[in-house]
Structure 1
Amino acid sequence: MSNEVQDLPADDANGAGEASVIDQKRRKPLLIGLAVAVLAVGALYFLYDVFIGSRSVSTDNAYVVGDTAQVTPLTSGQVAEVLVTDTQPVKKGQLLFRLDDTDQKIAFAQAEAGLAYAQRRYAQSIANNSALGAAADASAQQIASAKARLASANASLAKAQADYKRRAALANSGAVSAEELAAAREALTSAQAAASQAKAALDEAQSNAVSARKKEQASVALTSGTTNETAPEIRLAKARLAQAKLDLQRTVVRAPVDGVIAKRSIQVGQKVETGSVAMIVVPVNRLYVNANFKEDQLGKVRSGQKATVVSDFYGSDVTYHGKVVGFSGGTGAAFSLIPAQNATGNWIKVVQRLPVRIELDPKELEEHPLRIGLSMEAEIDLTDPK
């Protein structure tokens, strides 16, 4: 028994030695195989990068974006009826909600009355022009009559002057009595007064004629070159009527585009002001993708290049085809509320991402609708020469 026990360690030692010899013999081929494998992987990666990887760039940092349409009432009022709700598809021109139109109807009636009043005033102005013209003509005719009376008064004055001079010359000889001379003097005085009165009447008639003609000209100036359609006061009244009609029409609010209702914020009975956002319409047939590529991926990306996009919503079974239509004016960090300040001592370089806009095929969007904010995977074909 003691000999068998003593032989066991010797056998174990020989086995360990043989294993050590075998491991050393296999070590070199294993190292060589490992090196070959590393070189093969490196070569495959190099070939992939040159012949496959360099043909396209891809990212999973992409999201569905769309230009939403805000529905804002263009007149104020109380909400009388709401005909849509969130998530409801609508067509362009479809009725969304109504505002109470009582105030707008009153304003429209007032504008209609204002237009009728302006038209009547214009007709009155035209009639006044004719009346003032006739008055000016009558005043001009009175001048002729006043001139005739002045001529008659001047003739009577000349006769009275001649009679007085003749009697005054005979007064010293006693051929004319004092009474006749006094009567001739009174007749001369009366004739002089009549002539002065006739002259004043002529001046007054001339002044009245000038005044009447000025009034006619002033009245005509208000309507000169205008008609019942082009008169300023009538055009102003028509503009007010058109505004009142527009405000009345704006109490009925319709969808500006095709899409889906989102963020409805109004209820029946609520008072809304002009310009307040009542709801948003998302045009699901005009959505696009913002793909945020790393800056070192964009060296060969150009507008117009083809792109393929896969949505997490549908999975790889649905592939969208589109094209690059533009690049953002800056990275997301550049437009953040508090931009990063890199001029510091502990600065660490971080690879930035730049949004690339990819336009999708409308037909594919119609077949498989998307929603704003969905995650996407985008790949751009760099072999496209555009």
Structure 2
Amino acid sequence: MSQSIPPNQIRPPSETRGDVGSEKKPLPFQARGQLATAIVLVVLVGGIAWYSLQRDTERTEDAYVDGNVVQVTSQIGGTVTAFAADNTDHVKAGTLLVTLNPVDQEVRFERAKAELAKATRVARTQYSQVQQLRAEVVQRKNDVLKTRADLARRSTLASSGAVSREEVSHAEDVLKNAEAMLSAVNQSLEQRLAMVDGTNLRTHPDVLTAATNLRDAYIARSRTSILSPVDGTVTKRSVQLGQRINPGVALMSVVPMDELWVNANFKESQLEHLRIGQPAEVTTDVYGRNVVYHGKIVGMDAGTGSAFALLPAQNATGNWIKVTQRVPIRIALDSKEIAKQPLRVGLSMRVSVRTTDRSGEMIRKDVAPNFVYKTQVYDQELRDADAIVEAVIRANEGQTPMAEK
């Protein structure tokens, strides 16, 4: 049963809420008007600022990190005997990645060295033959002069009857034979000169051909060691031990982590004020909105994404539904910021571009200098090959007489 409260213990409502004098007095009408005016002004100024910011800014979340995916391929065929890097490994330019069986290329290289030595010695023989034939030409000319003088003397004596006509006839035959021998030797000299005239040992056609074959064999031998063309992270490794590969087959890829950019896909309705060179701010879900990357627009693609799709849309057939198209915009990032906060190819990005400055171009008229990319790993291949060619020629040239022009 509930207990009843005595009447003398019941407090009036005013006492339960405190004294009437302690309640807040309502603001005067004038003060309330001023507060409302201030609030309206703050909202109005904020709205104008927000509108100005939105009008001069284009945003999209349809943006992704992109980069150079450098394929590592073999320039010769062969069997894989080892690979020295796998996915997620970081490699330097020139690092050995894959090794092919070098036996076939070693045999080819030694054969090419022997062929160059042989060509050098054959060329030496040709130069010596030219000198020999020139000496023989001098000898045959002397023979002609001698027989011609002998014939003239005998002809003089024949008029006085001291020499018979038969001896004169024999002298004439000897002169004809000497002139024929001189002509034959001159022809042989011309043939030999055709092989060596205007050349020396190192510019002889046969020596040049053999030297080129040796360079080719040397380069093929060196290419049994497949090097990384750039600094970066290994990905997409597909090569396996013992695999027989053909030239041009992709073995793995290397992604340079310091050469990344953003492809932002803006709607066609957002392109009006976008210009090359405008600054951009980029954030990613990896580090949150507090980490901001700074970049700039360096180019706009030549068409929409659907225009270059594998199966472009056929809008001329069937029922047509308008779909807003997007154009890829390339945004270069600050390499120092990427080094501090690394990114990965394919990450989603949020892009905000300030379009206040609209003096830039919409279409590039030159090549963006920030994206010139090359490797120097293969620059020294021929230097060592030339040294080997010179060593082989020097070992076989001897004292080579040079052909006169």
TM over 0.5: yes
Q: Equivalent residues in 2 for 1:1-386 (5 A)?
A: 47=48, 50-151=51-152, 153-155=154-156, 157-160=158-161, 191-344=164-317, 346-385=319-358, 386=360
Residue deviations 1:130-185, cap 9 Å, x none?
1101111111111123224434543564455x9xxxxxxxxxxxxxxxxxxxxxxx
> Residue in 1 aligned with 2:17?
none
Asked if structure 2 preserves the Cα contact closer than 8 Å seen for 1:306 and 1:384, the reply is no
CA contact (8 A) 1:309 1:378 kept: yes
Letter in 1 for 2:92: K
1:43 to partner: Cα distance: 7.3
Following superposition, the deviation at residue 242 of structure 1 comes to 1.2
Larger fraction in helix: 1
Amino acid at match of 1:76: G
The unaligned stretches of length 5 or more in structure 2 are 1-39, 361-405
Cα distance between partner residues in 1 of 2:60 and 2:45: 22
Whole-Å Cα distance in 1 between the matches of residues 123 and 106 of structure 2? 26
How far 1:82 moved relative to its partner?
0.5
SS at structure 1 position matched to 2:121: helix
Q: Distance in 1 between matches of 2:156 and 2:123?
A: 50
Q: Which amino acid aligns with 2:168?
A: A
Instruction: Give me the whole-angstrom Cα distance separating, in 2, the residues matched to 1:149 and 1:290.
Output: 98
Output the CA distance in 2 between the equivalents of 1:378 and 1:151. 108
Cross-structure match for 2:390: none
Q: Distance in 2 between matches of 1:116 and 1:219?
A: 20
Q: Which amino acid aligns with 1:213?
A: N
Distance across 2 between alignment mates of 1:279 and 1:269:
16
Instruction: Return the alpha-carbon distance in structure 1 between the equivalents of residues 78 and 142 of structure 2.
Output: 64
Equivalent AA in structure 2 for residue 54 of structure 1: R
Deviation at 1:279, TM superposition (A): 0.6
Question: What are the Cα deviations for residues 11-64 of structure 1, in whole angstroms up to 9, with x where unaligned?
Answer: xxxxxxxxxxxxxxxxxxxxxxxxxxxx99x97997366312112111111111
Moved runs in structure 1, 4+ residues, more than 6 A?
A: 42-46
Q: Secondary structure at the match of 2:177?
A: helix
In the alignment, the residues of structure 2 paired with residue 341 and residue 380 of structure 1 have an alpha-carbon distance, to the nearest angstrom, of 32
Q: What percentage of residue pairs aligned between the two structures are identical? A: 38
Supply the AA of the counterpart residue of 1:109.
E
The answer to whether the Cα contact below 8 Å between 1:306 and 1:323 also exists between their aligned partners in 2 is yes
- Counterpart residue identity of residue 95, structure 1: L
- Name the SS for the 1:377 alignment partner: strand
Give the SS at the match of 1:278: strand
Q: How many residues align?
A: 319
Question: 1:235: Cα distance to partner?
Answer: 1.8
CA 353–44 in structure 1, closer or farther in 2 if over 3 Å, else same: farther
AA matched with 1:216: L
Question: 1:53/1:317 Cα in 2 relative to 1: closer, same or farther (>3 Å)?
Answer: same
- Specify every segment of 5 or more residues in structure 1 that has no aligned partner in the other structure, as ranges: 1-38, 163-187
User: What amino acid is the match of 1:364?
Assistant: E
CA distance in 1 between partners of 2:120 and 2:175 (Å):
40
Distance in 2, Cα, partners of 1:158 & 1:78: 91
| Residue number in structure 2 paired with 1:184 | none
Counterpart contact for 1:71–1:280, Cα < 8 Å: yes
Q: 2:174 aligns to what SS in structure 1?
A: helix
Could you give the per-residue CA deviations for residues 327-353 of structure 1, whole angstroms, max 9, x where no partner exists?
111001111122223335632222111
Q: Tell me if structure 2 keeps the 8 A contact 1:62–1:378.
A: yes
Shift of 1:355: 0.7
- Give SS of 1:194's match: helix
SS of the equivalent of 2:63 reads: strand
* Contact 1:327–1:354 under 8 Å retained in 2: yes
Tell me the distance in 1 between the aligned counterparts of 2:60 and 2:46.
Answer: 19
d(CA) in 1 for partners of 2:317, 2:206: 69
Counterpart of 1:30 in structure 2 is: none
Helix, strand or coil: the match of 2:289?
coil
- 1:289 deviation in Å? 0.7
The alpha-carbon deviation at position 365 of structure 1 amounts to 1.1
Q: Distance in 1 between matches of 2:317 and 2:81?
A: 59
